[in-house]
Amino acid sequence: MSSPSVRHSDVDACPGALRLHAAADGPLARVRLPGGLLTGAQVATLATIARRWGDDHLEITSRANAQLRALVEAPAQALAEALRGCGLLPSETHELVRNIAAVPTAGGWEVRPLVRALDRAVCAEPGLAGLPGRFLFAVGPAPAAADLAAVETAEGAAILFAGRDEGLRVPVDAVVAALTAGAYSFLEVRAERSVPAWRLRELADGPAEVATRTATRLGVALNPSSAVTPPVATEPIGVVEQADGRFAAAALAPLGLLHQTQLAVLAEAGDLTVTPWRGVVVLDQSRDDAERWLRDLAGVGLEVAPGSRWSGVTACAGRPGCARALADVRHDADAATTFGEGLPVHWIGCARGCGSPAGEHVRVEATGDGYTVTGPQGSGTAPVSGVGALVTRARRA
């Protein structure tokens, strides 16, 4: 089941491309990819950085960002120049706050123009550089607990505040203005209360207060009686039809890791996206070309068909990358995971639960001599050799 996030510090130390995290295996860089969007040329640059200075892999995070690990030999200036040169560091002042979740292949909207417009707008507002690194926008259906989200309605868009519909409606061409106004309203409320909140839900009555102030900034009225149910995005895999009638080839990267052979194939793509399910999607293809891409992706070990044992299975870094981890969770997840339907499952090396899914899921936490498995029906413990069966039962409960 889903566990609430636990605040371990009031210091927002989210890593970025310029502010690296001192992980156990060396410096870690997190590169923001608004909407998960990137190009094949940008994949090539990330692959070169990973090969030259890192551990040879690219990690996909639960927010569809990219992480480079073990950057022991990376000169900070050279790393920044490489990312800036390929367009992955458009703003040094705002690089930690370019957090936008989206699934370009989900829903009726063509979300990419909105994502790019929102990214430009956030970077153009000096005051929004003060957003916490964990603050999250979402455009369209996305499997993320966003602070501010725009979801499609028959008349335009509903703006949600920490997942709550407070009745703010705007036309599609006002979505970017509404989301930036909401971000400013959050910062305003946080400052007035002198609360070091990272997320909107951490402010008492925050969604209602921020919604009211956002509506005032926009000069519109709230209509709380028109509540909508946010759409739910599902994990894309295989050939997927886009909102514009073109097709995409979607694959799953087991445990979110992409090695050099896989990166070399993806570098041949034009536009693509990584997903919050730790997948990759090659966009804007004909159906025949999408089928060809699926064959190419399968050929380098990516999962391209429903029914993969890795569907819905994620994990934190674990040992040896994280000093807090009590186990090599990726190794153990690989050994224990078989095909299993039901809830998503997330393996973690300690109680912090890094990378946990936003919704209900099975939590598999290392204890040092096994794992505690927590699901909707409660929890149980098992040694490594028996944890697989326990996880399977919990997912189906």
Q: State the CB neighbour count (10 A cutoff) for residue 93.
A: 12
Question: Percentage of the chain with pLDDT > 90?
Answer: 85
Q: Find the length of the chain.
A: 397
What pLDDT band is residue 96 in, cutting at 50, 70 and 90? very high
**Model pLDDT for residues 76-89, shown as the tens digit of each residue:** 999 999 999 999 99
Q: What pLDDT is stored for residue 358 in this prediction? A: 81
**Model pLDDT for residues 380-391, shown as the tens digit of each residue:** 999 999 999 999
Beta strand 371-375 pairing with 345-348: unpaired
- Within the chain, strands assigned E span 21-23, 26-31, 37-39, 58-60, 66-68, 100-101, 137-139, 148-152, 157-161, 164-170, 238-241, 247-252, 257-258, 271-274, 279-285, 313-315, 345-348, 362-366, 371-375, 378-382
What pLDDT band is residue 4 in, cutting at 50, 70 and 90? very low
Q: What pLDDT is stored for residue 1 in this prediction? A: 34
Q: Which two tokens stand for residue 245?
A: 């009638």
Q: Which two tokens stand for residue 177?
A: 């203005």
**Model pLDDT for residues 276-315, shown as the tens digit of each residue:** 999 999 999 999 999 999 999 999 999 999 889 999 999 9
Fold of 313-396: Sulfite Reductase Hemoprotein; domain 1 (3.30.413)
Q: What pLDDT is stored for residue 189 in this prediction? A: 98
Is the pLDDT higher at 78 or at 10?
A: 78
Q: What pLDDT is stored for residue 9 in this prediction? A: 53
**Model pLDDT for residues 192-204, shown as the tens digit of each residue:** 999 899 999 999 9
**Model pLDDT for residues 44-66, shown as the tens digit of each residue:** 999 999 999 999 999 999 999 99
Q: Which residues pair with 137 in a beta bridge?
A: 100, 148
Domain range summary for the chain, segments of one domain joined by + = 100-226, 313-396
The residues, any chain, with a CB within 8 Å of residue 250's CB and separated by 6 or more, are 105, 236, 237, 238, 239, 240, 275, 279, 280, 281, 282, 304
What pLDDT band is residue 6 in, cutting at 50, 70 and 90? very low
What pLDDT band is residue 11 in, cutting at 50, 70 and 90? low
